[in-house]
Structure 1
Amino acid sequence: MGEQEQRPDELHREASGSPPHEGASATRPAWKSVLLVLICTLAMITDVACSTSVPIFLPVIADDLDVPANQLQWLVSAFALSSGCFLLLLGRLADLYGRKRFYIGGTLFLGALSLGSGFAQNAITLFILRGLQGLGPAAFIPACLGILAQAFPPSRARSAAFATFSAGAPIGGAVGTQIGALLTQYTKYTWRAPFFLFAGVACLCALFGLLLIDSDVPSTETDKRVDWLGAFLVTSGLALLVFVLGQGSSAPDGWKTGYIIALLILSVVFLVLFILWQRYLEQNQGTARPPLMKLTLWSRAEGKFAVMQIIAFFEWASFVSWGLWAQVYYEDYVKLPPVFTALRLLPMTVAGGLCNIFVVLVVSRLDLVFLIVSGAFFTGLASLLFALIQPSASFWAFGFPAAVVSVFGADFIFAAGTLFVAKVSLPHEQSLAGGLFQTLTQLGTAFGVAISTIAFDAVADGRGDDAPLRAYAAAQWTNFGMAMLCTLLAAIFLRGVGPVGSEDSIERQDSLREEEKDVPNSQGDSI
């Protein structure tokens, strides 16, 4: 009986590759652990910078390559399309075949495509390269989450690692907007210079990743077949959905355009078929190949895993959309040049760094629900300030406080959310679960921009000199509503989780129970 009671912990250690009572970081020098976290964080910075920099210099690209205004958005959407839609598949492959491999391959791929984008001589070439470029982060971001989860067992060190990694998002946003604007305006290569910079940084990530990341631990799964049909269904469904969300408002007849309606229906069909196929594979384990994503993953921690994914979706919908409309407000309504717009968004970077330091200090002691509720509330407050903004008022009255509080939700929810996901996920599914979290944030981004654009267009077509200002307010009220929905969901459904930065919690027991089902015993039977 004593052996059976100890079996779950033994299985967890065996599957994670950790020796008893010690984490994977026990034999690694402290300096190497720090550099490992920093190199993963640098990869996150590069990913976000590649995404956020392009909107700043779109007008310059349009003039240089003679790109029609209605096609410029593709330079932003194409990157998000590929990076968001392949996260699940590449996260699963990283779990199976090696996270270090996918990290190095993904960063090198991003570097090569960034270099190619910098040398592009026409719009078509740039569109294609931007679309392919997103595959790099789709490979290395889930791998980073799996690498950190593998390197740091549940502890204060893991909390610090994930919080530092999360800080890469606001820093990357600042690098993308600030450095992108400066290089575009003050170098002879103009818009090409940021691409050259990102190419160099991505290759630097690959080089140091090769030296610092621990060797891949073989997957504990006995059946390593890949669910290629599921991969096709979910990737196709997500790609069509992201395309529809990104292009619905700009289509010839808006959302009533025939191909938009057809593609939306087709995306739903693909995603429903994916869910049914995953259910069939999971119910027939042993005779069928493993599913790409176990549907029971969503029920972990009594369904709190699913709630966290939904919150991530709407939080990024609100946060990214707030940033987009704040930038548009400054440049199109106030008529500020890109550099001055970037300066007004600079407080986000400082606040983001402080938020992540705060998370490192308190995540092992503070209840998850407090972090999520307060973060989502403050993101909503940023949208509220811009919904009520007065153009004649000082920047310090509305713009500054909004820039400061806007990042609270993104930083708190990303740091605490990824810790939560890592805690309820098994060792052999860390990159997949992290990829799923990232997928929901990407989908939320596309959804938030789409729905806030609908609100903006509905008011912008009205009469009156104040119609543009009311249109910006309508978009920000939409963002405010999504942030408040996150606040409500967290307050109702995430109670009782406790601190996710501590070593023991209720979610860990869920993981161990799932692992007992998944890991075969010495006779080859399921426990």
Structure 2
Amino acid sequence: MPSEDEIAVPSLTSPKSLVLMATTCLTMIASIGSMFIMLPIIGKDLVINPASLKWLVTSYALTSGCFLLLFGRLADIFGRKVVFLVGCLWFIAFTIGCGFATQEGGLTLIIMRALTGIGGAAMIPACIGILAHAFPPSYARTVAFSLFQAAAPCGGVLGMVIGGIVTQYAPISWRALFFVLAGIGGIVFVGAMIVFPKDHDFSEDKRVDWLGALLITAGLVLLLFCLGQGEIAPQQWNTPSFIGWEQYVEAHLNFPPLMKLNLFARGKWKFSAVLLISFLVNGAFSSWQYWATLYYQNYENLSPILTVVRFLPMTVVGFSVNIIFAAVAAHISGYTLITFGCFGTAIASVLFALISPDAVYWAFGFPAAIFDVLGADIIMAGGSLYVSLVAMPEEQSLAGGVFNTITQVVLPCISDNY
């Protein structure tokens, strides 16, 4: 394998690199755009039962999280740019459909959101593989992945900001957010057509383990359903089929499995440790954001725009943290960064657990917003970078899909407890 000095590393300031990074960041922002801020308004407009309102968030996260592995593998086999562009068109089409949903009870909107999530599942792992190929291991890759992962929490906050503004001021209220997201998707599609590199044949074996894909997708759906509705699920936690099948394929068949199980043992099991930490921290981050929104709107009776104002510090801090991370990652121990990130998100949760309704925003809400995104951004940036380092070139998108599956499946678990 050539050394880092022998690999041509593109300049971060070149127009192509800048547009490529901007396109991938916009992809993350479009796919993560938060709906939390609009839930009360949508519920009133479409007369949605409060018990069903959670599915506006859960349906997207469910399909997006459950299809990431499949599309990650397909991107590695058939081409990351092709899979990305198809997923982007799918995302745009059904996002526009969400804006036209009018059925009372919200069933049409929920179905549209679920179908939109499939497009997001195709784009995210393809982006990770494209970034890993475009930027070999170097400082440039650290910056690229830091910016990409910064777009996740920043995208959630920006989604809340845009959602709050359009909900309160746009003539078509909450529907405007979906048209804005579709517009961002259109920009992403054009950018990807221009700057994403031509697909390379990393995988010689083009066969797909469709049974494994069916098992992992169905297994994740059942798992998430059990986490939220476990008391009524007939099998509850009994969904080990995928692991058993993949083990059988690797051991007894001359056929490429959907995912090699030794991926979890990479780096002396550090890969698995990173996944577990990312799952827990992202769960705490998303939980805080979800319940903080409900606290401000339902308990303090604040308008959407005033609720948005209380989340604005997260955007600035989130972006700043990832810029700083890119500069210091090579000089500070990964253990130190991870520990600091975990403590940051934990402090945010403790602050809201102890919040006094009579206290000013600056006493609890402001520091909690800062610490919450501080911890999540450090873990997401560091985790995605590590995953790209331990994954082989032919499995970059798949490994990225595994990482983002772990960080996204937590959302249905949270909203199912609403």
- What are the superposed Cα offsets for residues 250-303 of structure 1, whole Å, 9 maximum, x if unpaired? xxxxx53xxx231524xx33xx1211111112223xx42111111111111111
What residue number does 1:304 align with? 270
What residue number does 2:79 align with? 98
Aligned counterpart for 1:35 among listed residues 14, 19, 40: 19
Q: What pairs up with 1:15-26 in 2 under 5 angstroms?
A: 21-23=6-8, 25=10
Deviation of 1:24 after TM superposition, in Å, equals: 6.0
Q: What pairs up with 1:6-17 in 2 under 5 angstroms?
A: 9=1
Deviation of 1:222 after TM superposition, in Å, equals: 2.8
TM-score (norm 2): 0.95
Q: Which moved more, 1:176-185 or 1:55-64?
A: 55-64
Aligned-partner Cα distance in 2 for 1:190–1:416: 37
CA contact (8 A) 1:316 1:448 kept: no
- What are the superposed Cα offsets for residues 334-381 of structure 1, whole Å, 9 maximum, x if unpaired? 221221111111111111011111111111222111111100101000
Unaligned runs of 5+ in 1: 1-8, 249-254, 455-527
Q: What pairs up with 1:54-73 in 2 under 5 angstroms?
A: 54-73=35-54
What residue number does 2:258 align with? 292
Aligned-partner Cα distance in 2 for 1:343–1:241: 36
Q: Given the alignment of the two structures, is residue 264 of structure 1 paired with residue 239 of structure 2, yes or no? A: no
Aligned counterpart for 2:397 among listed residues 419, 428, 431: 431
- What are the superposed Cα offsets for residues 460-507 of structure 1, whole Å, 9 maximum, x if unpaired? xxxxxxxxxxxxxxxxxxxxxxxxxxxxxxxxxxxxxxxxxxxxxxxx
Aligned-partner Cα distance in 2 for 1:350–1:195: 24
Deviation of 1:171 after TM superposition, in Å, equals: 2.2
CA contact (8 A) 1:100 1:215 kept: yes
- What are the superposed Cα offsets for residues 309-354 of structure 1, whole Å, 9 maximum, x if unpaired? 1111111111111111111111122221221111111111111011
Q: Given the alignment of the two structures, is residue 313 of structure 1 paired with residue 279 of structure 2, yes or no? A: yes
What residue number does 2:145 align with? 162
Deviation of 1:174 after TM superposition, in Å, equals: 2.1
Q: What pairs up with 1:63-142 in 2 under 5 angstroms?
A: 63-122=44-103, 123-142=106-125
- What are the superposed Cα offsets for residues 22-69 of structure 1, whole Å, 9 maximum, x if unpaired? 23637x9821111101110010011111xx1x2222222223222222
Q: Quick one: structure 1 residues 449 and 183, their matched pair in 2 at CA, closer, same or farther if it must change by over 3 Å?
A: closer
Unaligned runs of 5+ in 2: none
Deviation of 1:119 after TM superposition, in Å, equals: 1.1
Report the secondary structure of 2:166's partner residue: helix
Aligned-partner Cα distance in 2 for 1:323–1:121: 27
What residue number does 1:226 align with? 208
Aligned-partner Cα distance in 1 for 2:13–2:76: 25
Deviation of 1:383 after TM superposition, in Å, equals: 0.6
Q: Quick one: structure 1 residues 149 and 447, their matched pair in 2 at CA, closer, same or farther if it must change by over 3 Å?
A: same
**For this pair of structures, how many residues does the alignment match?**
416
Aligned-partner Cα distance in 2 for 1:146–1:264: 34
Deviation of 1:445 after TM superposition, in Å, equals: 3.0
Deviation of 1:244 after TM superposition, in Å, equals: 3.2
TM-score (norm 1): 0.76
What residue number does 2:351 align with? 385
Report the secondary structure of 1:23's partner residue: coil
Structure 1 counterpart of 2:207, one-letter code: R
Structure 2 counterpart of 1:40, one-letter code: T
Q: Cα RMSD between the aligned structures? A: 1.8
Aligned counterpart for 2:312 among listed residues 346, 349, 354: 346
What residue number does 1:523 align with? none
Deviation of 1:127 after TM superposition, in Å, equals: 1.6
- What are the superposed Cα offsets for residues 43-102 of structure 1, whole Å, 9 maximum, x if unpaired? 0011111xx1x2222222223222222211111111011000000000000010111111
Aligned counterpart for 1:242 among listed residues 183, 206, 224: 224
Aligned counterpart for 1:46 among listed residues 21, 30, 33: 30
Structure 1 counterpart of 2:392, one-letter code: L
Q: Quick one: structure 1 residues 207 and 439, their matched pair in 2 at CA, closer, same or farther if it must change by over 3 Å?
A: same
Deviation of 1:121 after TM superposition, in Å, equals: 2.1
Higher relative contact order (CA 8 A, sep 6+): 2
What residue number does 2:132 align with? 149
CA contact (8 A) 2:281 2:375 kept: yes
Structure 2 counterpart of 1:175, one-letter code: L
CA contact (8 A) 1:322 1:383 kept: yes
Aligned-partner Cα distance in 1 for 2:43–2:204: 52
Aligned-partner Cα distance in 1 for 2:48–2:13: 51
Structure 1 counterpart of 2:209, one-letter code: D
CA contact (8 A) 1:81 1:243 kept: no
Report the secondary structure of 2:409's partner residue: helix
Q: Quick one: structure 1 residues 301 and 429, their matched pair in 2 at CA, closer, same or farther if it must change by over 3 Å?
A: same
Q: What pairs up with 1:124-523 in 2 under 5 angstroms?
A: 124-219=107-202, 221-246=203-228, 248=229, 256=231, 260-265=232-237, 268-269=238-239, 272-284=240-252, 287-449=253-415, 453=417
CA contact (8 A) 2:208 2:258 kept: yes
- What are the superposed Cα offsets for residues 491-527 of structure 1, whole Å, 9 maximum, x if unpaired? xxxxxxxxxxxxxxxxxxxxxxxxxxxxxxxxxxxxx
Q: Quick one: structure 1 residues 25 and 408, their matched pair in 2 at CA, closer, same or farther if it must change by over 3 Å?
A: same
Structure 1 counterpart of 2:7, one-letter code: E
Structure 2 counterpart of 1:99, one-letter code: R
Aligned-partner Cα distance in 1 for 2:40–2:274: 37
Aligned-partner Cα distance in 2 for 1:24–1:95: 22
Q: Quick one: structure 1 residues 22 and 234, their matched pair in 2 at CA, closer, same or farther if it must change by over 3 Å?
A: same
Deviation of 1:449 after TM superposition, in Å, equals: 5.0
Structure 2 counterpart of 1:277, one-letter code: W
Aligned-partner Cα distance in 2 for 1:414–1:427: 21
Aligned-partner Cα distance in 2 for 1:183–1:338: 9
Aligned-partner Cα distance in 2 for 1:446–1:67: 18
Q: Quick one: structure 1 residues 444 and 64, their matched pair in 2 at CA, closer, same or farther if it must change by over 3 Å?
A: closer
Q: Percent identity?
A: 45
Report the secondary structure of 1:242's partner residue: helix
Aligned-partner Cα distance in 2 for 1:23–1:380: 41
Aligned-partner Cα distance in 1 for 2:363–2:37: 25
Report the secondary structure of 2:268's partner residue: coil
